[in-house]
Structure 1
Amino acid sequence: MLQQILIHTPVYVWAILAVLVWRGTAALRDREMPVRSLFIVPAIMLALSLQDVVMKFGSDAMPLAAWALAAAAAALLVWKLGRSRTAPAATPGRVIVRGSWAPLAMMMAIFLTKYAASVLLAVLPHARQDALFAAAVCALFGVFNGCFLGRLARDVASLQGGSHAGRAAQAS
Protein backbone atom coordinates (compact mmCIF):
# COMPACT_ATOMS: atom_id res chain seq x y z
CA MET A 1 0.00 0.00 0.00
CA LEU A 2 2.84 2.41 0.82
CA GLN A 3 4.31 1.81 -2.62
CA GLN A 4 0.95 2.66 -4.22
CA ILE A 5 0.70 5.85 -2.17
CA LEU A 6 4.18 6.97 -3.22
CA ILE A 7 3.59 6.04 -6.89
CA HIS A 8 0.32 7.99 -7.01
CA THR A 9 1.75 11.08 -5.33
CA PRO A 10 1.87 13.87 -7.93
CA VAL A 11 5.36 14.99 -9.01
CA TYR A 12 4.69 18.57 -7.87
CA VAL A 13 4.45 17.31 -4.26
CA TRP A 14 8.04 16.10 -4.42
CA ALA A 15 9.07 19.42 -5.97
CA ILE A 16 7.46 21.25 -3.05
CA LEU A 17 9.30 18.97 -0.64
CA ALA A 18 12.60 19.73 -2.40
CA VAL A 19 11.99 23.49 -2.16
CA LEU A 20 11.12 23.21 1.53
CA VAL A 21 14.25 21.16 2.25
CA TRP A 22 16.36 23.65 0.29
CA ARG A 23 14.83 26.61 2.15
CA GLY A 24 15.08 24.85 5.50
CA THR A 25 18.74 23.95 5.03
CA ALA A 26 19.47 27.56 4.06
CA ALA A 27 18.04 28.55 7.47
CA LEU A 28 20.69 26.44 9.22
CA ARG A 29 23.35 29.09 8.57
CA ASP A 30 23.65 32.58 10.00
CA ARG A 31 22.76 35.05 7.28
CA GLU A 32 22.10 38.71 6.63
CA MET A 33 18.85 39.64 4.90
CA PRO A 34 16.40 42.50 4.45
CA VAL A 35 13.97 42.81 7.37
CA ARG A 36 11.03 42.27 4.98
CA SER A 37 12.41 38.81 4.16
CA LEU A 38 11.55 37.68 7.70
CA PHE A 39 7.90 37.73 6.60
CA ILE A 40 8.23 35.48 3.53
CA VAL A 41 8.25 31.96 5.03
CA PRO A 42 5.57 32.69 7.67
CA ALA A 43 3.34 34.23 4.97
CA ILE A 44 3.79 31.29 2.59
CA MET A 45 3.21 28.72 5.34
CA LEU A 46 0.14 30.67 6.49
CA ALA A 47 -1.33 30.70 2.98
CA LEU A 48 -0.60 27.00 2.41
CA SER A 49 -2.07 26.03 5.76
CA LEU A 50 -5.29 28.00 5.38
CA GLN A 51 -5.69 26.79 1.81
CA ASP A 52 -5.32 23.21 3.01
CA VAL A 53 -7.84 23.68 5.83
CA VAL A 54 -10.43 25.10 3.43
CA MET A 55 -9.74 22.54 0.68
CA LYS A 56 -9.91 19.55 3.04
CA PHE A 57 -12.59 20.61 5.51
CA GLY A 58 -14.37 23.61 4.02
CA SER A 59 -14.77 27.11 5.35
CA ASP A 60 -17.12 26.15 8.16
CA ALA A 61 -16.62 27.73 11.56
CA MET A 62 -15.30 24.62 13.34
CA PRO A 63 -12.19 23.90 11.20
CA LEU A 64 -11.27 27.58 11.02
CA ALA A 65 -11.90 28.08 14.75
CA ALA A 66 -9.71 25.07 15.61
CA TRP A 67 -6.97 26.48 13.39
CA ALA A 68 -7.29 30.03 14.76
CA LEU A 69 -7.35 29.04 18.43
CA ALA A 70 -4.33 26.77 18.06
CA ALA A 71 -2.46 29.38 16.01
CA ALA A 72 -3.14 32.12 18.56
CA ALA A 73 -2.10 29.95 21.51
CA ALA A 74 1.11 28.77 19.83
CA ALA A 75 2.00 32.28 18.62
CA LEU A 76 1.55 33.69 22.11
CA LEU A 77 3.66 30.95 23.70
CA VAL A 78 6.48 31.25 21.17
CA TRP A 79 6.45 35.05 21.35
CA LYS A 80 6.51 35.11 25.15
CA LEU A 81 8.82 32.16 25.85
CA GLY A 82 11.13 32.04 22.85
CA ARG A 83 14.39 33.82 22.17
CA SER A 84 14.96 36.18 19.30
CA ARG A 85 17.09 34.88 16.48
CA THR A 86 17.76 38.30 14.95
CA ALA A 87 20.09 41.23 15.47
CA PRO A 88 20.29 44.49 13.55
CA ALA A 89 22.85 44.44 10.75
CA ALA A 90 25.30 47.26 10.02
CA THR A 91 23.25 48.20 6.96
CA PRO A 92 19.91 49.92 7.71
CA GLY A 93 16.87 47.81 6.81
CA ARG A 94 18.83 44.58 7.12
CA VAL A 95 19.02 42.01 9.88
CA ILE A 96 21.34 39.19 10.87
CA VAL A 97 19.46 35.95 11.48
CA ARG A 98 21.06 33.17 13.50
CA GLY A 99 20.93 29.74 11.91
CA SER A 100 18.43 27.31 13.38
CA TRP A 101 16.97 23.85 12.83
CA ALA A 102 13.51 25.15 13.77
CA PRO A 103 12.43 26.39 10.30
CA LEU A 104 13.42 23.11 8.64
CA ALA A 105 11.70 21.08 11.35
CA MET A 106 8.54 23.18 11.11
CA MET A 107 8.40 23.04 7.31
CA MET A 108 8.87 19.27 7.36
CA ALA A 109 6.19 18.91 10.05
CA ILE A 110 3.75 20.96 7.97
CA PHE A 111 4.58 19.02 4.80
CA LEU A 112 4.21 15.64 6.52
CA THR A 113 0.94 16.67 8.16
CA LYS A 114 -0.47 17.91 4.85
CA TYR A 115 0.74 14.75 3.08
CA ALA A 116 -0.59 12.35 5.73
CA ALA A 117 -3.96 14.12 5.90
CA SER A 118 -4.23 14.09 2.10
CA VAL A 119 -3.40 10.39 1.90
CA LEU A 120 -5.84 9.54 4.69
CA LEU A 121 -8.62 11.52 3.03
CA ALA A 122 -7.88 9.86 -0.32
CA VAL A 123 -8.09 6.42 1.27
CA LEU A 124 -10.96 7.24 3.67
CA PRO A 125 -12.94 10.13 2.13
CA HIS A 126 -15.60 9.91 4.86
CA ALA A 127 -12.96 11.09 7.40
CA ARG A 128 -13.58 14.58 5.99
CA GLN A 129 -16.90 14.58 7.90
CA ASP A 130 -15.33 13.42 11.17
CA ALA A 131 -15.35 16.51 13.42
CA LEU A 132 -12.62 15.19 15.71
CA PHE A 133 -10.28 14.40 12.81
CA ALA A 134 -10.96 17.78 11.19
CA ALA A 135 -10.41 19.65 14.46
CA ALA A 136 -7.18 17.77 15.19
CA VAL A 137 -5.68 18.35 11.73
CA CYS A 138 -6.74 22.00 11.65
CA ALA A 139 -5.42 22.59 15.17
CA LEU A 140 -2.12 21.00 14.20
CA PHE A 141 -1.85 23.34 11.21
CA GLY A 142 -2.69 26.19 13.56
CA VAL A 143 0.07 25.22 15.99
CA PHE A 144 2.63 25.14 13.18
CA ASN A 145 1.54 28.51 11.86
CA GLY A 146 1.40 29.96 15.34
CA CYS A 147 5.02 28.96 15.86
CA PHE A 148 6.06 30.77 12.70
CA LEU A 149 3.96 33.83 13.54
CA GLY A 150 5.10 33.93 17.17
CA ARG A 151 8.73 33.75 16.13
CA LEU A 152 8.17 36.49 13.58
CA ALA A 153 6.49 38.70 16.20
CA ARG A 154 9.31 38.03 18.66
CA ASP A 155 11.98 38.85 16.06
CA VAL A 156 10.27 42.08 14.98
CA ALA A 157 9.74 43.12 18.61
CA SER A 158 13.37 42.40 19.39
CA LEU A 159 14.50 44.56 16.49
CA GLN A 160 12.31 47.38 17.74
CA GLY A 161 13.58 46.82 21.28
CA GLY A 162 10.32 47.94 22.84
CA SER A 163 8.53 44.82 23.95
CA HIS A 164 8.76 42.27 26.72
CA ALA A 165 9.91 39.63 24.26
CA GLY A 166 12.52 41.96 22.78
CA ARG A 167 13.93 42.93 26.19
CA ALA A 168 13.96 39.32 27.36
CA ALA A 169 15.81 38.24 24.22
CA GLN A 170 18.35 41.04 24.57
CA ALA A 171 18.94 40.17 28.24
CA SER A 172 19.81 36.56 27.44
Structure 2
Amino acid sequence: MTFAWQILIHTPVWVWMLLAFLLWQGVQAMRPRRTPIWRALIVPVVFIAWGVSRLGFGHQDSVWPLVAWIAAALVLLPLGVLTPRPFDVDHTTGQIIRPGSPFGLVRNLIVFASQYAVGVISAIDAGDRALAIVVGRAISGATAGYFIGSTIALLVAYRRKSAER
Protein backbone atom coordinates (compact mmCIF):
# COMPACT_ATOMS: atom_id res chain seq x y z
CA MET A 1 0.00 0.00 0.00
CA THR A 2 2.86 2.36 0.79
CA PHE A 3 4.34 1.85 -2.69
CA ALA A 4 1.04 2.68 -4.41
CA TRP A 5 0.54 5.67 -2.12
CA GLN A 6 4.01 7.00 -3.01
CA ILE A 7 3.19 6.72 -6.69
CA LEU A 8 -0.09 8.59 -6.23
CA ILE A 9 1.34 11.44 -4.15
CA HIS A 10 4.29 11.92 -6.49
CA THR A 11 2.07 12.18 -9.56
CA PRO A 12 1.90 15.82 -10.69
CA VAL A 13 -1.41 17.60 -10.11
CA TRP A 14 -1.80 18.31 -13.83
CA VAL A 15 -1.98 14.54 -14.47
CA TRP A 16 -4.98 14.20 -12.13
CA MET A 17 -6.60 17.25 -13.73
CA LEU A 18 -6.10 15.66 -17.17
CA LEU A 19 -7.61 12.39 -15.94
CA ALA A 20 -10.63 14.25 -14.54
CA PHE A 21 -11.09 16.07 -17.85
CA LEU A 22 -10.81 12.84 -19.86
CA LEU A 23 -13.27 11.07 -17.56
CA TRP A 24 -15.71 13.98 -17.86
CA GLN A 25 -15.38 14.01 -21.66
CA GLY A 26 -15.84 10.23 -21.81
CA VAL A 27 -18.95 10.31 -19.63
CA GLN A 28 -20.37 13.16 -21.72
CA ALA A 29 -19.80 11.10 -24.87
CA MET A 30 -21.99 8.32 -23.48
CA ARG A 31 -25.07 10.49 -24.04
CA PRO A 32 -26.36 11.67 -27.41
CA ARG A 33 -25.34 15.29 -27.87
CA ARG A 34 -24.90 18.23 -30.18
CA THR A 35 -21.60 20.03 -30.26
CA PRO A 36 -19.81 22.58 -32.42
CA ILE A 37 -16.99 21.17 -34.54
CA TRP A 38 -14.32 23.00 -32.52
CA ARG A 39 -15.48 21.30 -29.31
CA ALA A 40 -15.33 17.88 -30.98
CA LEU A 41 -11.65 18.57 -31.66
CA ILE A 42 -10.62 19.26 -28.02
CA VAL A 43 -9.89 15.66 -26.95
CA PRO A 44 -8.01 14.80 -30.16
CA VAL A 45 -5.90 17.96 -29.82
CA VAL A 46 -5.14 17.12 -26.16
CA PHE A 47 -3.99 13.60 -27.08
CA ILE A 48 -2.02 14.78 -30.13
CA ALA A 49 -0.27 17.44 -28.03
CA TRP A 50 0.44 14.92 -25.26
CA GLY A 51 1.81 12.46 -27.81
CA VAL A 52 4.05 15.04 -29.49
CA SER A 53 5.21 16.47 -26.14
CA ARG A 54 6.62 13.07 -25.17
CA LEU A 55 9.09 13.17 -28.07
CA GLY A 56 11.59 15.10 -25.94
CA PHE A 57 13.67 16.51 -28.79
CA GLY A 58 17.27 16.99 -27.71
CA HIS A 59 16.87 14.88 -24.55
CA GLN A 60 17.59 11.44 -25.99
CA ASP A 61 20.80 9.43 -26.08
CA SER A 62 19.41 7.10 -28.75
CA VAL A 63 17.46 7.37 -31.96
CA TRP A 64 15.24 4.38 -31.03
CA PRO A 65 12.60 6.35 -29.08
CA LEU A 66 12.07 8.60 -32.11
CA VAL A 67 11.94 5.60 -34.48
CA ALA A 68 9.39 3.91 -32.17
CA TRP A 69 7.28 7.10 -32.09
CA ILE A 70 7.26 7.54 -35.87
CA ALA A 71 6.62 3.85 -36.60
CA ALA A 72 3.72 3.65 -34.14
CA ALA A 73 2.23 6.92 -35.46
CA LEU A 74 2.39 5.64 -39.03
CA VAL A 75 0.78 2.33 -38.04
CA LEU A 76 -2.15 3.86 -36.15
CA LEU A 77 -2.81 6.90 -38.34
CA PRO A 78 -4.69 4.78 -40.92
CA LEU A 79 -6.72 3.16 -38.13
CA GLY A 80 -7.88 6.60 -37.03
CA VAL A 81 -8.81 7.51 -40.60
CA LEU A 82 -10.61 4.23 -41.28
CA THR A 83 -12.62 4.01 -38.03
CA PRO A 84 -14.49 7.31 -37.73
CA ARG A 85 -17.18 7.66 -35.11
CA PRO A 86 -20.65 8.19 -36.63
CA PHE A 87 -22.30 11.60 -36.58
CA ASP A 88 -24.77 13.76 -38.44
CA VAL A 89 -24.64 17.49 -39.06
CA ASP A 90 -27.41 19.93 -38.17
CA HIS A 91 -27.44 22.04 -41.32
CA THR A 92 -29.07 24.97 -39.52
CA THR A 93 -26.48 25.36 -36.77
CA GLY A 94 -23.54 23.44 -38.26
CA GLN A 95 -23.28 21.39 -35.07
CA ILE A 96 -22.30 17.74 -34.96
CA ILE A 97 -24.99 15.37 -33.69
CA ARG A 98 -23.46 12.27 -32.12
CA PRO A 99 -25.15 9.20 -30.65
CA GLY A 100 -24.08 8.19 -27.16
CA SER A 101 -21.31 5.60 -26.92
CA PRO A 102 -18.92 4.28 -24.26
CA PHE A 103 -16.14 4.23 -26.89
CA GLY A 104 -14.72 7.64 -25.92
CA LEU A 105 -14.56 6.82 -22.22
CA VAL A 106 -12.90 3.45 -22.78
CA ARG A 107 -10.44 4.90 -25.32
CA ASN A 108 -9.54 7.80 -23.03
CA LEU A 109 -8.92 5.49 -20.06
CA ILE A 110 -6.79 3.04 -22.06
CA VAL A 111 -4.59 5.78 -23.48
CA PHE A 112 -4.27 7.54 -20.13
CA ALA A 113 -3.47 4.31 -18.25
CA SER A 114 -0.85 3.33 -20.83
CA GLN A 115 0.86 6.71 -20.68
CA TYR A 116 0.66 6.81 -16.89
CA ALA A 117 2.08 3.29 -16.47
CA VAL A 118 5.05 4.07 -18.69
CA GLY A 119 5.68 7.31 -16.81
CA VAL A 120 5.63 5.50 -13.47
CA ILE A 121 7.94 2.72 -14.70
CA SER A 122 10.46 5.18 -16.12
CA ALA A 123 10.41 7.21 -12.89
CA ILE A 124 10.85 4.20 -10.58
CA ASP A 125 13.30 1.76 -12.15
CA ALA A 126 16.41 3.10 -13.84
CA GLY A 127 17.14 -0.40 -15.20
CA ASP A 128 13.86 -0.44 -17.10
CA ARG A 129 14.01 3.22 -18.03
CA ALA A 130 15.50 2.73 -21.52
CA LEU A 131 12.85 0.18 -22.46
CA ALA A 132 10.11 2.28 -20.84
CA ILE A 133 11.24 5.30 -22.86
CA VAL A 134 11.03 3.37 -26.15
CA VAL A 135 7.65 1.83 -25.21
CA GLY A 136 6.42 5.21 -23.97
CA ARG A 137 7.40 6.88 -27.23
CA ALA A 138 5.66 4.10 -29.18
CA ILE A 139 2.48 4.62 -27.13
CA SER A 140 2.74 8.38 -27.62
CA GLY A 141 3.30 7.98 -31.34
CA ALA A 142 0.42 5.53 -31.65
CA THR A 143 -1.84 7.89 -29.72
CA ALA A 144 -0.85 10.91 -31.81
CA GLY A 145 -1.12 8.94 -35.05
CA TYR A 146 -4.56 7.56 -34.19
CA PHE A 147 -5.92 10.97 -33.20
CA ILE A 148 -4.39 12.71 -36.22
CA GLY A 149 -6.12 10.10 -38.37
CA SER A 150 -9.43 10.41 -36.54
CA THR A 151 -9.24 14.22 -36.77
CA ILE A 152 -8.66 13.99 -40.52
CA ALA A 153 -11.64 11.61 -40.83
CA LEU A 154 -13.84 13.88 -38.72
CA LEU A 155 -12.99 17.02 -40.68
CA VAL A 156 -13.38 15.33 -44.08
CA ALA A 157 -16.74 13.80 -43.09
CA TYR A 158 -17.90 17.09 -41.55
CA ARG A 159 -17.06 18.99 -44.72
CA ARG A 160 -18.80 16.40 -46.90
CA LYS A 161 -21.91 16.22 -44.68
CA SER A 162 -22.11 20.01 -44.40
CA ALA A 163 -22.09 20.33 -48.19
CA GLU A 164 -24.83 17.68 -48.70
CA ARG A 165 -27.83 19.84 -47.83
Distance 1:134 1:7, change over 3 A: closer
Aligned positions, number: 158
Q: Once the 2 structures are TM-superposed, how far is the Cα of residue 59 of structure 1 from its aligned partner?
A: 9.0
Deviation at 1:20, TM superposition (A): 1.5
Contact 2:80 2:150 survives alignment (8 Å): yes
Cα offset for 1:21?
0.7
Q: 1:1-172 maps to which residues of 2 (within 5 A)?
A: 1-54=3-56, 58=60, 61-80=63-82, 82-128=83-129, 130=130, 132-161=131-160
Cα gap change, 1:60 to 1:45, in 2 (>3 Å): farther
Gaps of 5+ in 2: none
Structure 1, unmatched stretches of 5+, are 163-172
TM-score normalised by structure 1 residue count:
0.76
The answer to whether the 8 A contact 1:84-1:158 is kept is no
Q: Alignment RMSD, CA only?
A: 2.6
The two structures have a TM-score, normalised by structure 2, of: 0.78
CA distance in 2, matches of 1:70, 1:7: 31
Q: Distance in 1 between matches of 2:47 and 2:80?
A: 16
Amino acid at match of 2:95: R
Distance apart, 1:45 and its partner CA: 0.9
- Percent same amino acid at aligned positions? 30
Partners of 1:89 and 1:12 in 2: how far apart?
A: 35
Larger deviation: 23-32 or 2-11?
A: 2-11
CA gap 1:43/1:60 in 2 versus in 1, 3 angstroms: farther
Contact persistence 1:52–1:114 (CA under 8 A): no
Partners of 1:103 and 1:94 in 2: CA distance: 19
